[in-house]
């Protein structure tokens, strides 16, 4: 049978016939599709072929479509082509929703006086700032390791924070455990640096009056050790003897940074903690992942039994989410070489950061 023709800049099917046999090639505007049969487990096939395609400027995935296996090669692009309108629009909308949320924390009435939205800018900047620094940490290390990644996508949500966070998308084969570790750890470590700065600024600012008869008056935040420690070092309180006063809303930005860091460091699925753990322990991450939902459900049970259930719903939800995330699978690096002792030390530091960002009841509503 004649070898299917392929463009000159991608590997010829004959060059990897011992890994993936090809009987048809389809060239489209978006990619080159090799139809055939993998001769090993999919992860092993990708591990063998990804470096070969990467040298030619392509990333590869294996799919099963209508009963056929397809090796899809897509041209890699590390830059940003044109204006990323989706990212821009989501950021603008999230800025608006965080301004609305901030206005509530300050006790403003933006619906009655929309100009007051602008007065909530310190809250919006603090929340968006810690999220942006976290995601840009991932983005910068992705570029450093020549891994294709998107700019951050901010997620607007009309809640007490105005957002559900931000994410970036990695659309590339991860070249090594070292690259996976660096990209995974960069976000939490960069984000925690921003969290420290925002928290220090926030606790140094004057408190604000609690808006009475409002949702904000019913919200109770549990501050993690990191935030408590910063306040203690600076000699500033997180609670006041006057029940009508609360911390400056900028502190909420620090709380968001710590909470997001802890959640992202859970070692499941595609979360940062899973990238770090996968890079350190390899495929043994499956054992770690099984323990995470059990630990979260156990924490929820403890809160139900000994804390009147405060915060239990949050951990039940995240216990369910971690099960879902685990089913999505983990990132699989091409090169399985050890990350080395220096990165193992950074992993220990990252674990410590996660512990400092934990609090059993991060948010609850007064009853």
Residues in the chain: 367
pTM value is: 0.90
Residues 6+ apart with CB under 8 A from 117: 96, 99, 100, 103, 108, 110
Residues 6+ apart with CB under 8 A from 163: 94, 97, 98, 101, 127, 128, 131, 154, 155, 156, 157
Q: How confident is the model at residue 340 (pLDDT cuts 50, 70, 90)?
A: very high
| pLDDT average, residue stretch 51-58 | 91
* Among the listed residues 291, 290, 329, 295, the one whose alpha carbon sits nearest the alpha carbon of residue 315: 295
Task: Tell me: pLDDT of 116 over 90.
Answer: no
| pLDDT average, residue stretch 150-162 | 93
Q: Measured between alpha carbons, how far is residue 153 from residues 46, 92, 187, 274 in Å?
A: 28, 11, 14, 20
Q: How confident is the model at residue 360 (pLDDT cuts 50, 70, 90)?
A: very high
| pLDDT average, residue stretch 147-161 | 92
Kindly report the CA angle at 15 between 12 and 17, in degrees rounded to 5? 105
**What pLDDT shows up at residue 367?**
57
Task: Tell me: pLDDT of 2 over 60.
Answer: no
Domain definitions of the chain by residue range: 13-75, 85-365
Token pair recorded at residue 169: 């998308």
**What pLDDT shows up at residue 224?**
97
Distance CA 302, CA 324 (A): 23
**What pLDDT shows up at residue 78?**
81
| pLDDT average, residue stretch 24-44 | 90
Q: Give 263-285 pLDDT, tens digit per residue.
A: 999 999 999 999 999 999 998 99
Task: Tell me: pLDDT of 15 over 60.
Answer: yes
Residues 271/247, Cβ–Cβ less than 8 Å: no
Q: What is the mean pLDDT of the chain?
A: 92
Please give the DSSP secondary-structure letter assigned to residue 170. Answer: B
Q: How confident is the model at residue 4 (pLDDT cuts 50, 70, 90)?
A: low
**What pLDDT shows up at residue 259?**
96
Q: How confident is the model at residue 294 (pLDDT cuts 50, 70, 90)?
A: very high
Helix (H) or strand (E) holding 234: helix 225-234
Q: May I ask the CATH class of domain 13-75?
A: alpha beta
Average the pLDDT over each of 68-82, 252-266, 315-329 and give the range with the smallest value. Answer: 68-82
**What pLDDT shows up at residue 347?**
97
| pLDDT average, residue stretch 32-37 | 93
Distance CA 141, CA 13 (A): 33
**What pLDDT shows up at residue 262?**
97
Token pair recorded at residue 331: 């990132």
């Amino acid at each position: 049978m004649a070898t299917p023709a392929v463009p000159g800049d991608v590997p010829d099917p004959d060059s990897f016939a011992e890994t993936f046999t090809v009987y048809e090639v389809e060239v489209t505007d978006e990619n080159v599709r090799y139809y055939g049969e993998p001769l090993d487990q999919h992860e092993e096939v990708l591990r063998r072929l990804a470096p070969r395609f990467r040298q030619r400027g392509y990333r590869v995935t294996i799919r099963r479509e209508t009963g056929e296996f397809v090796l899809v090669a897509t041209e890699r692009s590390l830059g940003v082509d044109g204006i990323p309108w989706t990212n821009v629009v989501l950021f603008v909308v999230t800025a608006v929703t965080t301004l609305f949320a901030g206005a509530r924390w300050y006790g403003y009435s933006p619906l009655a006086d929309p100009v007051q939205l602008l007065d909530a800018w310190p809250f919006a900047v603090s929340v968006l700032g810690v999220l942006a620094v976290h995601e840009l940490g991932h983005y910068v290390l992705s570029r450093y390791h020549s891994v294709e990644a998107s700019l951050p996508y901010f997620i607007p949500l009309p809640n007490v924070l105005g957002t559900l966070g931000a994410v970036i998308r990695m659309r590339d084969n991860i070249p090594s455990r070292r690259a996976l570790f660096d990209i995974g750890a960069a976000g939490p470590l960069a984000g925690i640096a921003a969290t420290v700065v925002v928290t220090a600024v926030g606790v140094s600012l004057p408190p604000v009056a609690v808006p009475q008869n409002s949702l904000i008056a019913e919200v109770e935040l549990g501050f993690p050790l990191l935030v408590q420690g910063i306040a203690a070092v600076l000699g500033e309180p997180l609670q006041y003897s006057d029940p009508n006063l609360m911390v400056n809303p900028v502190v909420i930005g620090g709380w968001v940074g710590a909470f997001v860091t802890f959640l992202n460091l859970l070692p499941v699925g595609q979360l940062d903690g899973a990238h770090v753990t996968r890079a350190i322990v390899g495929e043994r991450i499956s054992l770690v992942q099984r323990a995470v939902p059990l630990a979260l459900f156990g924490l929820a049970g403890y809160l139900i039994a000994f804390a009147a259930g405060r915060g239990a719903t949050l951990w039940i939800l995240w216990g369910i989410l971690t099960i879902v995330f685990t089913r999505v699978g983990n990132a699989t690096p091409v090169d399985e070489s050890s990350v080395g002792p220096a990165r193992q030390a950074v992993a220990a530091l990252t674990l410590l950061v996660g512990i400092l960002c934990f609090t059993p009841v991060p948010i609850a509503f007064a009853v």
